[in-house]
Amino acid sequence: MAQNIAVIRGDGIGPEIVEQALLVLNRVAERFGHEFTYTDVDMGGNAIDKWGDPLPQEMLQRCLDSDSVLLGAVGGPKWNDVPGPMRPEKGLLRLRAGMGVYSNNRPAKIWPQLASASPLKQEIVDKGIDFLIVRELIGGIYFGKHETVTENGEKVAIDELRYSEEEIRRIGRIGFETARKRGKRLCSVEKSNVLDSSRLWKKVMHELAAEYPDVALSDMLVDNCAMQIVRDPSQFDVIVTENMFGDILSDEASMITGSIGMIPSSSLGQTSRGLYEPIHGSAPDIAGKDVANPIGTILAAAMMLRYSFDMEKEADAIESAVSQVLDAGYRTRDILPADPTGCTLVGCQEMGRRIIENL
């Protein structure tokens, strides 16, 4: 099958981790008889430097013309002082909105080989960590009006948080559908003791529940959820939540699985064209040193094969190659245990090469 993939290498460690993911995809194409072609897209800090815009229209168009988009990471201290609307991250937000990918799927699953890398006590880890955060991605406070005004001689900054019933309903459905395919438990996370948007969120989730009698819906306040994720993560199956809560909780959830460097994500909307990226950032402090962990991006490429291209066995092959490399003890720095006996420290390129060897 021929597929055109828009590739955003991005900033910081982005180019080096994406490179490894592309080598993995090439190997998959060779082994399974597919043809993947790649279209380079500038987005983020590098696009600001080159075009004066974190996502020029022409670059968004390349993504919309592709079958799917693979992204490394964007941003870095170099662009800290550029004004809000021109920040590298704004390119990412415009890309998500431009592609209409409202549903962001972030798995938190512990790899048995990395159980000792989790900061949680062994007895908590042993109960199992395998849940998924469904994060609303193109609404809420990220996309409300942002402004800084002057009142009584001082600056006042305002960020608006709004959600319509329809925006909540469409992500709610994804939450229920996802839970239906897993353990049939959906936890809706909000702050309904304080926010109107959360009260509307909760109301819509309960309306939807009538359509999914086979799924058990529960509600949880976001502060409590942050606590429960470290107290007893085994209680969760699928969490559905709004944009900013999902951003924060998914970083927390990734950490308890050992390393944020291991977690991929998929973002989908109404079509099969998705945006696939690791959930970590551009890590400018380690960029260009060949120490970054490419596994999050490689697993994001696997998700792309599974969810956008319907290539289930190809995705399985990548995931099992990753598992075999972990079994063999290869570790990038971020997943090297305190006692590294039996492990071999490898860089970004070697990690990629080892995974390809197992494909």
Q: Which does 89 bind (CB under 5 to 8 A by kind): ligand IPM, Mg ion, none?
A: ligand IPM
Residue 15's H or E segment, with its range, is: helix 14-32
Identify whether the C-beta of residue 45 lies closer than 8 Å to the C-beta of residue 78.
yes
Q: Residue written as tokens 């990038």? A: 332
Nearer Cβ to Mg ion (97/345): 97
Contacts of 298 (CB under 8 A, 6+ apart): 20, 21, 24, 264, 318, 322, 352, 355
Residue with smallest beta-carbon separation from ligand IPM: 89
Which tokens in the block code for residue 293? 């962990």
Three-class DSSP category at 311? coil
Parallel, antiparallel, or unpaired for β 2-10 and 275-278? Answer: unpaired
Which tokens in the block code for residue 87? 């920040």
Nearer Cβ to ligand IPM (212/261): 261
The length of the chain in residues reads 359
Q: Is residue 191 among the annotated active site residues?
A: yes
- Of 95, 97, 49, 101, the C-alpha closest to 72 is 95
Distance of CA 86 to the CA centre of its chain: 22
User: What distance in Å separates the CA atoms of residue 342 and residue 45, rounded to the nearest whole number?
Assistant: 40
Catalytic residue among 126, 223, 285, 327: 223
- The minimum distance between CB 256 and Mg ion, in angstroms, equals 15
Catalytic residue among 53, 102, 163, 191: 191
Catalytic residue among 130, 159, 219, 251: 251
- The minimum distance between CB 110 and Mg ion, in angstroms, equals 20
- The minimum distance between CB 231 and ligand IPM, in angstroms, equals 23
Q: Is residue 247 among the annotated active site residues?
A: yes
* Residue 315 half-sphere exposure toward CB, CA atoms < 13 A: 16
Q: Is residue 251 among the annotated active site residues?
A: yes
Contacts of 170 (CB under 8 A, 6+ apart): 102, 103
Three-class DSSP category at 307? helix
Q: Which does 92 bind (CB under 5 to 8 A by kind): ligand IPM, Mg ion, none?
A: ligand IPM
Q: Is residue 276 among the annotated active site residues?
A: no
Our finding on whether 242 is near Mg ion (CB under 5 A) is: no
Residue 258 burial class via C-beta count within 10 angstroms: exposed 0-12, middle 13-18, buried 19 and up = buried
* Among 31-39, 75-83, 159-167, 241-249, the segment contacting Mg ion (CB under 5 A): 241-249
Q: Is residue 310 among the annotated active site residues?
A: no
Residue with smallest beta-carbon separation from Mg ion: 247
Catalytic residue among 11, 53, 247, 334: 247
Our finding on whether 277 is near Mg ion (CB under 5 A) is: no
Nearer Cβ to ligand IPM (75/258): 75
User: What distance in Å separates the CA atoms of residue 145 and residue 155, rounded to the nearest whole number?
Assistant: 16
- The minimum distance between CB 259 and Mg ion, in angstroms, equals 15
Query: Residue 239's beta-bridge partner residues?
Result: 133, 187
Nearer Cβ to Mg ion (16/247): 247
Identify whether the C-beta of residue 300 lies closer than 8 Å to the C-beta of residue 264.
yes
Q: Residues in the site for ligand IPM, rule: CB under 6 A?
A: 75, 89, 92, 247, 279
Quick note: the x/- pattern for Mg ion over 307-346, rule CB under 5 A, is: ----------------------------------------
Nearer Cβ to ligand IPM (167/314): 167
Quick note: the x/- pattern for Mg ion over 243-272, rule CB under 5 A, is: ----x-------------------------
Q: Which does 23 bind (CB under 5 to 8 A by kind): Mg ion, ligand IPM, none?
A: none
Q: Which does 140 bind (CB under 5 to 8 A by kind): Mg ion, ligand IPM, none?
A: none
Nearer Cβ to ligand IPM (190/247): 247
Nearer Cβ to ligand IPM (118/243): 243
Parallel, antiparallel, or unpaired for β 2-10 and 344-345? Answer: unpaired
> Using the 8-state DSSP alphabet, how is residue 26 labeled?
H
Q: Under the rule (CB under 5 A), what is the footprint of Mg ion? A: 247
The residues assigned a catalytic role are 142, 191, 223, 247, 251
